[in-house]
């Protein structure tokens, strides 16, 4: 009898695109999650998070997978499928960077509220890509939430000179687009958390 072994948690291989983002890669299977974290009818300020993933040489990575989760505009995670259908807020999104011509991730959502009074509005991010045996965790904070960011205990635990790697910046020519790039290594390396 053949013993099957565990599938590695890598994006390399057919199971990444085929199993996790099939519609984005034009497979005939429905994706469980898409790049839309909040539908247009969801309450709150609708925003887009746009960015790229860069390797240590500053080259754009075209086979990363980004997953994001967050609370809604009122600071709540969805509790049931019925709530998601009623509110249009999914609370979770997934996108492969290889699906965009510029190798970007583009997540459609609403600006999160505060999950707790001492936390700044933020989005949790999980990144998986080639060459990584395990995924990484980081967060996105917002440049126009200065006062809340100063009070956030997680952001305060990050050395001051590195906090900027966790801040999404509102694009100057757009009221609802935030730019957030992820740098895997180098002098601009994004802060990753050990969870």
Q: Say if CB 137 and CB 126 are below 8 A apart.
A: yes
How much is the pLDDT for 97? Answer: 86
Is residue 53 in a domain? yes
Is residue 85 in a domain? yes
Residues in the chain: 195
Distance CA(63)–CA(184), nearest Å, equals 13
Is residue 191 in a domain? no
The model's pLDDT over 154-192, given as tens digits with 9 standing for 90+, comes to: 999 999 999 999 999 999 988 899 999 999 999 999 999
The model's pLDDT over 131-153, given as tens digits with 9 standing for 90+, comes to: 777 889 999 999 999 999 999 99
Is residue 10 in a domain? no
Is residue 49 in a domain? yes
Is residue 64 in a domain? yes
For residue 94, the cross-strand partners are 67
Cα 80–chain centre separation? 21
Radius of gyration of the chain, Cα coordinates, nearest whole angstrom: 17
Q: What is the CATH number of the domain that holds 89?
A: 2.60.130.10
Is residue 135 in a domain? yes
Closest CA to 70 of 168, 139, 169, 163: 139
Cα 21–chain centre separation? 14
The model's pLDDT over 26-64, given as tens digits with 9 standing for 90+, comes to: 777 777 788 999 999 999 999 999 999 999 999 999 888
The model's pLDDT over 82-108, given as tens digits with 9 standing for 90+, comes to: 999 999 999 999 998 877 889 999 999
Is residue 1 in a domain? no
What pTM does this model have?
A: 0.88
93 or 7: which leads in pLDDT: 93
Provide the residue range defining the domain that includes 160: 16-183
Domains held by the chain: number? 1
135 or 5: which leads in pLDDT: 135
């Amino acid at each position: 009898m053949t013993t099957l072994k565990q599938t590695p948690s890598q994006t390399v291989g057919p199971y990444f695109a085929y199993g996790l983002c099939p519609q984005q890669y034009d497979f005939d299977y429905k994706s469980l999650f898409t790049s839309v974290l909040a539908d247009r009818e969801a309450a709150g300020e609708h925003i887009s998070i746009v960015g790229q993933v860069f390797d240590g040489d500053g080259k754009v990575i075209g086979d990363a997978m980004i997953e994001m989760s967050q609370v809604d505009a009122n600071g709540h995670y969805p509790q049931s499928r019925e709530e998601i259908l009623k509110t249009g807020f999914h609370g979770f999104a997934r996108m492969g960077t290889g699906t965009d011509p510029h190798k970007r991730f583009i997540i459609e959502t609403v600006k999160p509220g505060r999950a707790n009074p001492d936390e700044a509005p933020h989005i949790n991010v999980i990144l998986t890509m080639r060459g990584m045996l395990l995924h990484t965790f980081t967060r996105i904070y917002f440049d126009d939430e200065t006062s809340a960011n100063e009070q956030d205990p997680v952001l305060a635990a990050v050395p001051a000179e590195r906090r900027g790697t966790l801040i999404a910046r509102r694009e100057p020519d757009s009221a609802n687009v935030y730019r957030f790039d992820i740098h895997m290594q180098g002098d601009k390396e994004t802060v990753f958390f050990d969870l």
